[in-house]
Copies of this chain bind each other. A is one copy, B any other.
C-alpha cells in the first residue's frame, strides 16, 4: 500500500513494529504466491474505472442499492469469465474490493441454485438447466424458509402433490405461514427457483424434496399464473439484495421438475427413496466453515479500522497541559480492542482449519470412509455459532471504540456489522447449532464412560477432573490449553449429569434435554472455545513464521487464552481448578500483554492485508488521513448538493414573521 501521505502517527507506529508484516500476511493467507495472487486480482478490481465511478452505496436508496448490486454482480461475472477464473477463492479475491460487504442479488444463484442443480439434478436435468443458468438466462434462487418456518425443515408447509393422471406435481401454499419468505434474489431478480416442498404421492407424505419451478416469463419477466412473488421489504442491512416471498396457488409443474438424482417419483406415482441421506452433511460443513471465515473477516476488518483510528485519534490530556495521547495508549482502549484483535486471528485460523479439514474429509468420503464426518460436522455447527456471536459483538465494540464517528456510515463499521450479524441466524440458528454440537458431545461422553477411545480432538472428554491448574506467573501455552480442556470436560460432564438426574427424576428424554439445554449450551461453547485456543497454539508453531513474528503471535495467542479465561472465570473456578492467586497471575499477565502488543498493534492489523477499498472506511485508511476523508464524505452527501433544502419552504418559512425578524439581529455591521 502506498506510503505517500501517511500521517506521522501511523508512520511512527509502523516503524516501531518488531516483526515483518509481510511474513505474517503470507502465513495467514497460506504462502507468498497466494498473497501475490490475491493482491494481483484485488488490484484489477481496484483499478477498474467501472467500480471507481459507482456512487457510494451509503447515499443510495434501497432501490438504487439493489440496482447497483445487480449491475456490479453481472459485470463481475463477465470479468471473471474473461479472465478465465473459476476457483471460488480467486473469484472472491477479485470481488471483495468491488462489493465489500454488499450482498449480491446473485449470491444465491451462484451459491445455491446452480450447485443444487449440479448436486441434486439428474444428468438430463443438468443438461437442461445448467448452461442456461451459467449464462444468466435462467436466474434462480433456492426457496426453503417460510413465513412461519425456519431452521426446522420438517415443519415446512408448502406441498408438492403428485397427480399421476397428468404426470404433474401440484405445488401449493395452503396457509399464510406456508409462504416462502426470506430467500435472496427472489423478489425481483429470479425467473426460476428451486423450491423445497413436502412431497405427497399416492396419498402418502415423504418429507421435504426439491422442485424446479419457473416463476417469471422468459419473454417479459412477468409473474406466471398461479404464483405470487415480491420483495419482503426493508431490512437492517442487505439493501443490495431482493429477499423475497413466494406462494403457489395449486401450480402444476411437470414431473420432470422434481430434482431426482437421489429420490424419484415414477410416472405412476411410486416413490423411490434416496440411498444415503447423510451425504448432504458435506455441503453443510462447507457452508458453515465459510461462515466462520466470513465472521472472522468482518471482525478483522473492524479491528483494522478501530486500531488504525485509535492510533490517529488523540483525546483528553493525560495531565494538565500535557499533549492529548493517542487513544490507543489508554489501557481501557487496549482492553477493549486487543482481545478482539486476538479473536480475529483465532477465528481466521479456525475457519482455515475447518475448511482444510473439510477438504481432507471429503477426500476420505469419496473413498467411502465416513468416519471423520460426525466430529467435523459437530465442530463446524458449533464454530459457526461461536464465531458469529463473537464477531458480531466484537464488531460493535470496535465501532463504539471509534466514538461518535463510528456511528457514521463513513466509518464502514455499521455496514460490516449488518453484514456479519445475520450469520447468527441463517444456515441454522445459533442456539440450534450449539445444541447440535452438544448432542455430539453427549454421545462422546457416554462413549468415554463406556471406556471407548474417542477420535482426535474430543479425546479430552471424560478425563479425570480431580486436578488443579499448572498455571504460573509465566502463563505457559500448555497450561492455557489444559485449563480450557478442563473447563470443557467439566461442563460436558455437568450437562450429562443434569440430563441423567432429570431422567432419573422421571422426565422424558426430550424434557430432560430441554431442562438441561442451558448447561448443554455452556458445554458446547466451552468445546468451541477450547478448539479455538488449541488450534491457535498449534498454528503458531508453523515453520513459515520467522522467529520475530512467532514471538509476537505468541503474545497474541496468550492474550486470546488469558482474556477468555478472565471473561468466563467462574467456569474455571467453580470446582477449585484455579486458585485465587493463579487468577491474579492471569490478570497481571493480561495487562502486561497489552504493553507487549501495543508497539505492534498497527502492524498486526496491517498484516490482515485489506486494501482501503475493501475496508470502505474513512477511519481505517492506510494513510490515516481520517479527518480529510470524513469531511469529503460529508461534502459528498446528496443533501449538500443544494444550499437550501426543500423542507425550508414547506415547513420552516411559513413560521417566520418578516416583521419581527431580520438578519440585522446579528450582523448589524454587514
Contact = CB atoms under 8 A, between A and B. Distances in A.
Interface stretch (A92-100, A287-295, A359-367, A507-515): A507-515
A318 B627 contact: no
Copy number of this protein in the oligomer? Answer: 2
A265 interface: no
A217 B432 CA distance: 60
Nearest to A220: B644
A514 B404 contact: no
B573 A217 contact: no
Contacts of A132: 660-661
A657 B137 contact: yes
A298 interface: no
B400 A425 contact: yes
A49 B627 CA distance: 45
Interface in A199-225: 212-214, 217-225
A184 B584 CA distance: 46
B254 A668 contact: yes
Contacts of A122: none
B639 A188 contact: yes
B637 A155 contact: no
A425 B335 CA distance: 17
Interface stretch (A22-30, A443-451, A645-653): A645-653
A185 B148 CA distance: 42
A6 interface: no
Contact of A139 (B148, B189, B571, B652): B652
Given A70-B651, A135-B655, A652-B136, A235 B640 contact: no
A327 to B, nearest CB: 10
Given A575-B580, A634-B232, A655 B74 contact: yes
A257 interface: yes
A269 B330 CA distance: 40
Interface string A424-462: 111001111001000000000000000000000000000
Contacts of A315: 149-152, 155
B324 A155 contact: yes
Interface in A408-430: 408-410, 414, 421-422, 424-426, 429-430
Contacts of A179: 631
Contact of A400 (B66, B314, B424): B424
Contacts of A653: 221
Contacts of A189: 647, 652
Interface stretch (A40-48, A56-64, A376-384): A56-64
B580 A576 contact: yes
Interface residues of A, number: 162
A656 interface: yes
Contact of A640 (B230, B425, B575): B230
A669 interface: yes
A643 interface: yes
Contacts of A435: 332
Nearest to A633: B233
Nearest to A630: B147
Interface string A173-213: 00011010110000111000000000000000000000011
Contact of A631 (B74, B147, B668): B147
A319 B663 contact: no
A107 to B, nearest CB: 15
Interface in A456-494: none
A445 B415 CA distance: 44
Nearest to A424: B400
Contact of A188 (B319, B647, B657, B667): B647
Given A225-B670, A655-B136, A235 B407 contact: yes
A432 B403 CA distance: 11
B151 A236 contact: no
B425 A218 contact: no
Contact of A517 (B176, B330, B403): B330
B151 A432 contact: no
A222 B410 CA distance: 27
Closest 5 interchain pairs by CB?
A569-B570, A233-B637, A236-B414, A152-B316, A214-B666
26 contacts: A66-B639, A66-B645, A67-B647, A67-B651, A74-B655, A147-B630, A155-B315, A155-B316, A218-B656, A218-B658, A219-B658, A219-B662, A219-B663, A221-B652, A224-B663, A232-B633, A232-B634, A234-B409, A236-B414, A242-B639, A333-B431, A403-B425, A407-B422, A569-B569, A569-B573, A575-B580
